[in-house]
């Protein structure tokens, strides 16, 4: 197994989150060897019987991690081996001891290539956050402001917790990734609740870098046991951090492209970052083409829908114009019926000067003739009839109108 390096704070968190034997197996060393490394790094470890008391739900004491010098923030865990290494073959490896050299060599394990041999698409995550990206810098400034505000007003309950080693490591990885995206012409975007996304060639790709959680069963606490009833479960299921980072793309990608990267003990997220960056750059032209095809398909669908709408409106207008023609025909029929009735009245013997009310019969006859002449559609001419029909729109008729619109 290769030599492994782990941050002192992270190793402290791992030692107090799982039994030493399990953690030692993860690093490929004996539990005694791992305990010796912790003692040399001034990392307190659980005493005998600690995990038995935890399983029984008893209160346990966890001492704080003592401060360390800047040159001692990393711990080197050499693999267990029964063979001595050849000095000539290990001339480029780290010297003896469990504490890492100064900060200049902190990333020697993760990034083996020198800047001269590093590829253009290979991202180097620094061991220390320098000039942070504007988004990361905003997070740090907000966290500091909240801490100062809580300290000023003595808000002990609302005091933000200090950043853990996992938080700072996540900041460094995000800082490197976002700067690389902007270096190739992309954009780094921040949404609500610190959600992140990048934009490449106009394509927005949301993503998330978080610590993976797992469901575990834990014993009931003393307070929970007081409310425990016969038949209830003797444990509670909850989510606990795994100490592993996971990078998730929150957008559908074409078949063949990964959307999740989970680090392992052998391959940390710092080494996966170059693959993630390369994958997103490779998939961007495909997403651009898919967007163009989708927009073109949408445009053609809108054109087809508009053409169907116009055809439907033309059909409705044609039906309404025909309805108007039938109304005019009905009007003409009523006036012709009135004309025939008037001619029949004229054939009857009557005295023109005889008055009905104050009006002589002769004037009544003239009144009927005027009304027939004014209201008969034929008296307006054929052009006027079709000009009236041409004004009809595609709106549905709700009532009948006579020719004059009365």
Q: What is the pLDDT of residues 251-281, one digit of tens each?
A: 999 999 999 999 998 899 999 999 999 999 9
Helix or strand holding residue 356 (H, E): strand 355-356
pLDDT bin (cut points 50, 70, 90) of residue 396 is low
Q: Which of 167, 13, 126, 17 lies closest to 75, judged by CA?
A: 13
Task: Please give the share of the chain, as a percent, with pLDDT higher than 90.
Answer: 43
pLDDT single digits (tens) 148-167:
888 887 776 677 888 999 99
Instruction: Name which of 115-124, 203-212, 220-229, 261-270 the model is least confident about.
Output: 115-124
pLDDT bin (cut points 50, 70, 90) of residue 227 is confident
Q: Which residue has the higher pLDDT, 395 or 245?
A: 245
pLDDT single digits (tens) 28-56:
888 888 888 888 888 999 888 788 777 76
pLDDT bin (cut points 50, 70, 90) of residue 120 is low
Helix or strand holding residue 217 (H, E): strand 203-219
Instruction: Name the 3-class secondary structure at 92.
Output: coil
Tell me the CB-side half-sphere exposure of residue 196, using CA atoms within 13 A: 21
Number of neighbours of residue 269 by Cβ within 10 angstroms: 22
DSSP 219-253: EPPHHHHHT--TTS-SEEEEEEEEEEEEEEE-S--
pLDDT bin (cut points 50, 70, 90) of residue 379 is confident
Say yes or no to pLDDT of 82 above 80.
Answer: no
| pLDDT, the chain, mean | 83
pTM: 0.56
What is the model's pLDDT at position 252? 93
Average pLDDT on 348-356 reads 86
C-alpha angle 16-209-29 in degrees, rounded to nearest 5: 35
Say yes or no to pLDDT of 400 above 70.
Answer: no
Residues 6+ apart with CB under 8 A from 317: 392, 393, 394
Q: Which residue has the higher pLDDT, 243 or 402?
A: 243
What is the model's pLDDT at position 154? 74
Say yes or no to pLDDT of 385 above 60.
Answer: yes
Average pLDDT on 46-74 reads 79
* Residues 329, 54: Cα–Cα separation, whole Å: 98
What is the model's pLDDT at position 81? 54
What is the model's pLDDT at position 278? 95
Residue 99 DSSP symbol: B
pLDDT bin (cut points 50, 70, 90) of residue 404 is very low
């Amino acid at each position: 197994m290769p030599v492994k390096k782990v941050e002192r704070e992270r190793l402290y968190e791992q030692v107090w989150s799982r039994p030493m034997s399990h953690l030692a197996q993860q690093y490929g060393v004996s539990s005694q060897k791992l305990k010796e490394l912790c003692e040399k790094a001034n990392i307190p470890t659980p005493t005998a019987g600690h995990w038995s008391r935890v399983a029984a739900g008893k209160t346990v004491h966890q001492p704080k991690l003592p401060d360390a010098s800047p040159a001692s923030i990393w711990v080197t865990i050499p693999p267990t081996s029964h063979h001595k290494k050849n000095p000539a073959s290990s001339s480029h490896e780290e010297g003896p001891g469990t504490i890492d050299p100064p900060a200049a060599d902190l990333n020697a394990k993760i990034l083996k290539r020198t800047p001269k041999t590093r590829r253009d698409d290979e991202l180097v995550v620094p061991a220390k956050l320098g000039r942070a990206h504007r988004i990361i810098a905003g997070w740090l400034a907000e966290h500091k402001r909240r801490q100062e505000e809580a300290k000023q007003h003595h808000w002990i309950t609302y005091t933000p917790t200090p950043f853990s080693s996992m938080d700072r490591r996540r900041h460094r990885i995000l800082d490197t990734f976002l700067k690389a995206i902007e270096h190739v012409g992309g954009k780094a975007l921040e949404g609500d609740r610190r959600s992140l996304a990048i934009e490449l060639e106009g394509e927005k790709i949301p993503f998330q870098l978080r610590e993976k959680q797992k469901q575990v069963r834990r014993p009931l606490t003393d307070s929970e046991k007081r409310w425990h009833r016969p038949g209830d479960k003797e444990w509670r299921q909850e989510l606990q951090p795994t100490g592993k980072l996971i990078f998730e793309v929150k957008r559908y990608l074409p078949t063949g492209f990964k959307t999740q990267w989970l680090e392992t003990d052998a391959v940390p997220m710092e080494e996966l970052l170059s693959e993630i960056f390369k994958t997103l750059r490779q998939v961007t032209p495909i997403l651009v083409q898919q967007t163009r095809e989708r927009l073109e398909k949408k445009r053609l669908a809108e054109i087809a829908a508009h053409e169907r709408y116009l055809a439907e409106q033309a059909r409705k207008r044609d039906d309404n114009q025909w309805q108007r023609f039938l109304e005019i025909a009905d009007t003409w029929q009523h006036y012709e019926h009135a004309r025939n009735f008037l001619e029949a009245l004229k054939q009857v013997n009557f005295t023109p000067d005889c008055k009905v009310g104050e009006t002589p019969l002769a004037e009544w006859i003239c009144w009927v003739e005027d009304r027939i002449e004014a209201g008969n559609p034929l008296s307006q001419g054929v052009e006027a009839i079709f000009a009236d029909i041409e004004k009809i729109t595609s709106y549905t008729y709700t009532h009948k109108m006579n020719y004059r619109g009365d």
